[in-house]
Amino acid sequence: MDTARQLLQEAGRIDRDWCGVVTADNQTAGRGRQGRSWLGAERAFMGTLLFCTDQPLAQLVGYSLSVGYAVACAFDSLGVTLALKWPNDLVVVEQGEIKKVGGILIEVEEIGDLRCIVVGLGINLSQPPKEVVNRATSLEALGQSRLSASEVTRIVARALLAAHQEFVNGPGLRGVLDVWQRRSCFVKGATELTVELGDATVTGVYAGLSEAGALLLTVNGAERTIHSGHITQIRL
């Protein structure tokens, strides 16, 4: 993502239709949400896609949900069914356990009157990182042993360009909110979640997403809105 941002600065004149892709074979300074470090597995897809828009920042709320949904749908044609874990993970549910296949990190760079959306995407192709082997899986383990990083680049780039154009030129988050929730690995009214909120935690039952894409939990009979947090426990 840092390299992509540097290339963006060096690109010269850009417009709202400008886009780009940067991929890496290895990554030494991966980062995740809320400052967490991120480790790439061997032969993983590690890429950053750049999309520009003149939409104000407020209109880009929930953009990461559209990215996750688009990537999951892109793999349907290959026979891989991925579910979505709020806010930004691609997962599968195996024997009652959620295992991560990939993750998304969204940042926005201001370029004059434009916003450039920097979409970081990592997908385990052949094996998960050793540090989380019991909580993750790979496309190879799901039956896609022949997929290369270059093939994944083409698949996700095509899907995300279409999703970007639909998001910024259409209804935005409203256009993907319902379908995202149908693809969620959480079951509304049944899945219990514990969420870390900085120096506090909250536990409640999944109640869906708000109109802004925030997590809704039922806590002691009352609905609570979680705009940002780290899910530490899931009881399906």
Q: Confirm whether pTM is higher than 0.85.
A: yes
Amino acid (one-letter) located at 191: T
Distance (Å, whole) CA 112 – CA 46: 28
Q: Which fold has domain 192-235?
A: SH3 type barrels. (2.30.30)
The pLDDT confidence band at residue 26, using thresholds 50, 70 and 90, is confident
Of the candidate ranges 140-149, 171-180, 198-207, 214-223, the one whose mean pLDDT is the lowest = 140-149
Q: What are phi and psi of 76, to 5 degrees?
A: -55, -40
Estimate the crossing angle of helix 63-74 against helix 149-169, to 10 degrees. 130
Q: Is a pLDDT exceeding 70 seen at residue 133?
A: no
Q: What is the pLDDT of residues 63-80, one digit of tens each?
A: 999 999 999 999 998 889
Q: What is the pLDDT of residue 233?
A: 93
Q: Contact at 8 Å (CB) between 66 and 176?
A: yes
Q: Is a pLDDT exceeding 70 seen at residue 31?
A: no
Q: What is the pLDDT of residues 183-211, one digit of tens each?
A: 999 999 999 999 999 889 999 999 999 99
Q: What CATH class has 2-182?
A: alpha beta
Q: Is a pLDDT exceeding 80 seen at residue 169?
A: yes
What contacts 189, CB < 8 A, 6 or more positions away?
205, 206, 207, 218
Q: What is the pLDDT of residues 88-127, one digit of tens each?
A: 999 999 888 999 999 999 999 998 899 999 999 999 998 8
Of residues 129 and 24, the one with the higher pLDDT is: 24
For the chain, where do the domains classified as CATH 2.30.30.100 start and end? 192-235
Q: What are phi and psi of 230, to 5 degrees?
A: -120, 120
* Average pLDDT across the chain, whole number: 91
Q: What is the pLDDT of residue 38?
A: 57
Q: Is a pLDDT exceeding 90 seen at residue 134?
A: no
